[in-house]
Structure 1
């Protein structure tokens, strides 16, 4: 209860309040109080992160509070600014039914979080959660940051959300574990729902358009043409698994909101874009693509050229400063997404997958685009409205997201985050297209949805092989072509959406069904206790060595996504897990080998590290201490180490040793 109260107070008073005041003063505010608070929360996060970085670098992390205190004090002291506390009394009020609808979506997301995260023990949570925790610990104690699980390796990663969590931990005293696994992304998720609705309302002209945009964004997915084979349209349900995506999406939404309105708010725009440099790598390229499309189609205009220049500068800052020119394995690799999918469809494995011909990949790409059209086919109804610059911006963002999925490749399929980042804006554009083509018989539109859903059910029920599964779609496709030629665009869009209804219902219901899956305990029961003991009895600059590298020690292939030693101890480890290191991702050959099969980049270091645990001796322990500055050893039960290092902590599963003379 104490953590909830502290978190709520800080998120509300320390972040959202000053952000809302700045949003109203510098950006002119929005059309509703909900818009002001949601956009203000995003702006507050941006200010917080940009303040925490120099504060932590100076060794005084609590200085992060200074900008917020200055903002609140200034808006109290200056008479001309006091009006921003209550906002514009003439603002449009969100209708009650709309507020309840959005509250229902937020409630759904909380229910999903409760069932699939809160009820799950930390030891059985998603594989990346300890990685997020380790990065929070790193940025809580060090700037500039390095990869905490590989001593000395540059952190070429979007890490600003971890700076936000670290700042929150410093101010509130809440454990990073609680923030990562329970609290931090909740307000981000809620504010994102509101902002999608607000942008939809602004471009669609009514609150119903905003609610519809939220519905498409969160609950409409492409059809499943073959069980087990999913043509990705992505979802917004990575909120906990990828806090970087959640944080970046929230910061990006008010940028689009500003660009979609008449008031630019250049200072606010610059702050948000600067925060996006390290929030998530996908958003700035998408924005630049959308702005370039507007400039090409509508001509060189200041209100669009200036944001394009700012975005380009921020993109260069991200590439050179945040990522250090690293790409984390992302590469130009046309049809990489479809190549991975072909491996599932045809049962082809690496390295044979790398030599698959282009023919089937092109076919799968066409099918994938068809599945995306089932979600966002409404864009076809925009007609002449597509030339409206704000709508054109959304279309450009969407096309860039789809293009990235087709043209880029990554060892862990991270190119799909481009499509997820574009999802809200494709959804808003699709809703605007439906509204533009709405003067068509509603009965016909409803029948098309039912026919499309029926075709999808029939296709999934018929046990056939090969291309026969698409027969129901082809039959109705002929009718759709006739309707299209007669100008019934909305009816065709409804038919396409109908194709995705059964899969969407299964997906939506599945997210709020109790998860009965038994998760294997991959983190020992006493690991958290041992890690926290080490944190309390060591200094942030101390280096730890461990022989824990592989999530599944018995496997022939080492899954090196092992991060909980660093995560629980908040200490840098000589070598723990290297699966997400730039030195690993950059050496991975797409479709030749998995990045999980790439060995550690420095074999000599790994050998010296592991020798201490496998064959401890005075010489190899001294070597580790002198060459790498190791002060602590974290392992399981290894009594032989007691002859060469001092045992300081032990429970049923974990031991912590301190090197002699330390």
Structure 2
């Protein structure tokens, strides 16, 4: 049974012209009304530009990145999306799905362009609009459906986007600057993101740039997309990671959640509600402060980017699994499944588990499993296996099952009660027969159950098992809102039962869930205000020195450095040091060595912290450091002849020996010295 836009019931025989891919929508707007629908988007865009300018991004840089995003990513993606879907839909859905497709195309062209040594060919997607303008049969894809969403939905979603922008500014932009000393003490993993983006700007296939000889077994498609933007616009990689690169993905992810919630529940308010639940519900946990999805939006760009791609895939699957699809939709399913597998490793396993639940429900209710579910499952499994072999080469990055008995019953009970409170709306599905067997809604529930199970039953040295739950959160939220929508159509007796259940759950939650989880947003803002902006990990002059080295060296040149770790309180050395390879955009013989396959392997065997392991090749490390501590001609000759090092990048804070007698000082900025070594 469908719904009208204003939330009332819609006759099952409603004309298909009033429904767009499952979305009940308003008739074609005319006159000023047609343009008024764009006002929420204009407000969001203006705020984004203003905040970027406030936090040190020049208008020209914003314009360049915006032009790249529109011309190279969004426009080609939307046109391909419409062509494969066979229609223009609601503009919000076309933009959300089109951006996911556009990024998939941009990643593919970036990899191909760099692999053949012609990075400018990454601009190839700009040819897509030309083709769609020339070929008569494709010109229809330029025309929108002309149908608009209810103003209440548009402004509700815009309010969510405005919140995300203000949150980003208050908790991230304000705490991490683009110049020294504001960029000296970032979250330790952020220079890692810059380093991988720098690697993808120049090399395909990529390797670990900060530890020569180590493979890169990671989901690096976000970095390939950012590398494409950097190569084509000239925008500094640090600016992409700290300000711009995540922004389109973040905003379109939110839009996609709101569209999907609307499609599945059949009511406009359900879409806005799904977005609100996604952003603001508490994540029941044990003793961590990240109670909501908001905390990792910028600190984990791969998670946010992957979430946007996966949301685009779910928009397609919401029609495919209901049997409302064309053959060309399978191209989108394959393309976006591959894209999300390389963007964040958590999503495709969750998709497989969700599809298993759909298949189980269909086996019980229909006595068979429908073809769309089977084909989608085969695609997901094939992509999962391929990604495991090609991208990750069998590496699990230390992820393993929790030992039996290690999860306390009390902890499990507290988490379970918290989940019941946070997503109590799921209970509504029990009272709505047409919803509890609806394949895309069942898929959302399956993804949520898999995310919860993965978080509880697995562990990883860096706590990355929590990303399974982060990945599942939007779809649990959508399922919960669909349950609420189902309850609204039920008799009063059902409402009374639901009210009693909700009251019991809330009472138990008050007793068992720590109060700090009930106000995560306020705690986050308070933490941001106390964040120290002081000289730390990255020295003065690092960015300028890195820029100089890029201009005066080849991307294939190897660099040696004397900095290997970040000093933590108590003098502990954390080997997540990546800023030299990040800013120089050059591979380094030995910088840090955390997140490498060898480090994970040793940590698994020894149980040691993979971020604090000593380097396993002590001979190489000794040869590297001897140049900076002894500084003899023999040391330099060994580094050049045995390892192929061409440059030295020295941090003066570590008091290296004067090297003017054995190397040529080429650049000096702040605490950074760059020497060129003699050729062999």
1:574 equivalent in alignment to 2:593: no
| 8 Å Cα contact 1:328-1:585 kept in structure 2 | yes
Equivalent position of 2:350 in the other structure: 286
TM-score (norm 1): 0.85
Give the match's secondary structure for 1:324: coil
Q: Distance in 1 between matches of 2:220 and 2:78?
A: 24
- Secondary structure of 1:241's counterpart equals coil
Q: SS of the residue aligned with 2:666?
A: strand
Q: Would you say 1:317 and 2:386 are equivalent positions? A: yes
Match for residue 90 of structure 2?
A: 32
Match of 2:155 among 100, 120, 127: 100
Report if the CA contact (8 A) 2:132-2:138 is conserved.
yes
Q: 1:417 aligns with which of 467, 470, 477?
A: 467
2:129 aligned with 1:72: yes
Which stretch of the first structure deviates more once superposed, 25-34 or 648-657?
A: 25-34
**Contact persistence 2:285–2:291 (CA under 8 A):** no
Aligned residue among 372, 382, 390 for 2:419: 372
Q: Is 1:214 paired with 2:264?
A: no
3-state SS in 1 of match to 2:532:
coil
- Aligned equivalents of 2:565 and 2:514: distance in 1? 41
In 1, Cα distance between the equivalents of 2:611 and 2:485? 47
Tell me if structure 2 keeps the 8 A contact 1:334–1:406. no
SS of 2:573's equivalent in the other structure is coil
2:391 aligned with 1:391: no
Which of residues 623, 643, 651 in structure 1 aligns to 2:661? 643
Post-superposition Cα deviations, 1:611-638, rounded to whole Å, max 9, x if no partner, equal 2212222222211111111111111233
Partners of 1:532 and 1:569 within 8 A in 2? yes
In structure 2, the partner of 1:250 is 308
Alpha-carbon distance in 2 for matches of 1:45, 1:330: 28
Task: Name the CA distance, whole Å, in 1 between partners of 2:597 and 2:204.
Answer: 18
| 506, 509, 517: which one aligns with 2:519 | 506
Residue of 336, 341, 345 corresponding to 1:272: 336
CA distance in 1, matches of 2:119, 2:499: 61
CA deviations over 1:87-106 (Å, ceiling 9, x no partner): 223x4x21112211211111
Q: Which one of 613, 617, 622 corresponds to residue 628 of structure 2?
A: 613
Are residues 172 and 423 of structure 1, via their aligned partners in 2, closer, same or farther at CA, if it must alter by over 3 Å?
A: same
Q: Report deviation, 1:281.
A: 0.4
The partner residue of 1:546 within 561, 574, 579 is 561
Q: Distance in 2 between matches of 1:108 and 1:512?
A: 13
- Counterpart of 2:542 in structure 1 is 527
Do 1:220 and 1:501's aligned partners in 2 also have CA atoms closer than 8 Å? no
Q: Deviations over 1:186-228 (max 9, x none)?
A: 1111101110001100111111001110011001114689xxx
Q: For residue 509 of structure 1, report the CA deviation from its aligned partner.
A: 3.5
- Give the SS at the match of 2:648: strand
- 2:201 and 2:127 map into 1 onto residues whose CA distance is 23
Which residue number corresponds to residue 348 of structure 1? none
TM-score (norm 2): 0.83
Query: Given the superposition, is the C-alpha separation of residues 241 and 232 from structure 1 closer, same or farther in structure 2, using an over 3 Å criterion?
Result: closer
CA distance in 1, matches of 2:584, 2:420: 47
Q: Structure 1 pair 334/84, CA: closer, same or farther in 2 (3 Å)?
A: farther
Q: 1:433 to 1:52 in 2, by over 3 A?
A: same
Matched, 1:16 2:16: no
2:673 aligned residue = 655
- In 2, are the aligned partners of 1:231 and 1:368 still within 8 Å (CA)? no
Residues 379 and 434 of structure 1 are in contact (CA less than 8 Å); yes or no, is this contact kept in structure 2?
yes
Contact 1:222-1:231 at 8 Å conserved across structures: no
Q: Distance in 2 between matches of 1:190 and 1:394?
A: 21
Determine the structure 2 residue equivalent to 1:127. 188
1:557, distance to aligned residue in structure 2 (A) = 3.0
Check 1:654–1:232 CA distance in 2 against 1; reply closer, same or farther (3 A cut).
Answer: closer
Deviation at residue 35 of structure 1 after TM alignment: 1.1
- 1:177 aligned to 2:238? yes
Q: Does 1:304 align with 2:361?
A: no
Residue aligned with 2:567, SS: coil
- Is the 1:636–1:654 Cα contact (8 Å) retained in structure 2? yes
- SS for the counterpart of 1:597 is coil
The Cα shift of 1:546 comes to 0.7
Q: Which residue of structure 1 lines up, in the alignment, with residue 142 of structure 2?
A: 85
**2: distance between equivalents of 1:582 and 1:397?**
29
CA contact (8 A) 2:64 2:233 kept: yes
Tell me the residue number matched to 2:33.
none
Compared CA separation, residues 596 and 193, structure 1 to 2 (3 A): same
- Whole-Å separation in 2 of the counterparts to 1:292 and 1:439: 29
- Work out whether residues 218 and 236 of structure 1, in 8 Å CA contact, stay in contact via their aligned partners in 2: yes
Q: Aligned partners of 1:576, 1:190: CA distance in 2, in Å?
A: 35
Per the alignment, residue 449 of structure 1 pairs with none
Q: Is residue 110 of structure 1 aligned with residue 165 of structure 2?
A: yes
TM-fit CA distance, 1:62? 1.7
Q: Distance in 2 between matches of 1:296 and 1:106?
A: 37
**Structure 2 CA distance for aligned equivalents of residues 193 and 360 of structure 1:** 33
Alignment partners' CA distance in 1, 2:267 and 2:606: 47
Aligned residues: 596
Q: Is the 8 A contact 2:122 2:228 kept in 1?
A: yes
1:12, distance to aligned residue in structure 2 (A): 1.2
User: Aligned to 2:382, what secondary structure does the other structure show?
Assistant: helix
1:28: how far off?
3.6
Displacement of 1:593 in angstroms is 2.9
> 1:632 is paired with a residue of what secondary structure?
strand
Q: Secondary structure at the match of 1:544?
A: strand
Q: CA deviation at 1:122?
A: 1.6
Counterpart of 1:596 in 2: which secondary structure?
coil
Structure 1 residues 618 and 271, CA gap change in structure 2 (3 angstroms): same
Q: Distance in 1 between matches of 2:280 and 2:187?
A: 22
Cα separation, 2, equivalents of 1:505 and 1:331: 30
Gaps of at least 5 residues in structure 1 are 336-357, 446-482
Gap change, CA 1:183 and 1:231, over 3 Å in 2: closer
Cα separation, 1, equivalents of 2:344 and 2:546: 29
CA–CA distance in 1 between the matches of 2:240 and 2:172? 13
User: 1:515 Cα shift?
Assistant: 1.9
Q: Is the 8 A contact 1:22 1:40 kept in 2?
A: yes
Distance, in Å, in 1 between the alignment partners of 2:441 and 2:120 is 42
Q: Determine the C-alpha separation between the residues in 1 that align with 2:458 and 2:443.
A: 22
> Are 2:214 and 1:153 aligned?
yes
Please list the CA deviations of residues 439-486 of structure 1 after superposition, one character each: whole Å capped at 9, or x if unmatched: 6899x99xxxxxxxxxxxxxxxxxxxxxxxxxxxxxxxxxxxxx75x8
The corresponding residue for 1:139 is 200
2:50 maps to which residue? none
Instruction: Provide the C-alpha distance between the structure 1 equivalents of 2:508 and 2:318, rounded to a whole number of angstroms.
Output: 28
Mean alpha-carbon deviation: is it higher for 52-61 or for 382-391? 382-391
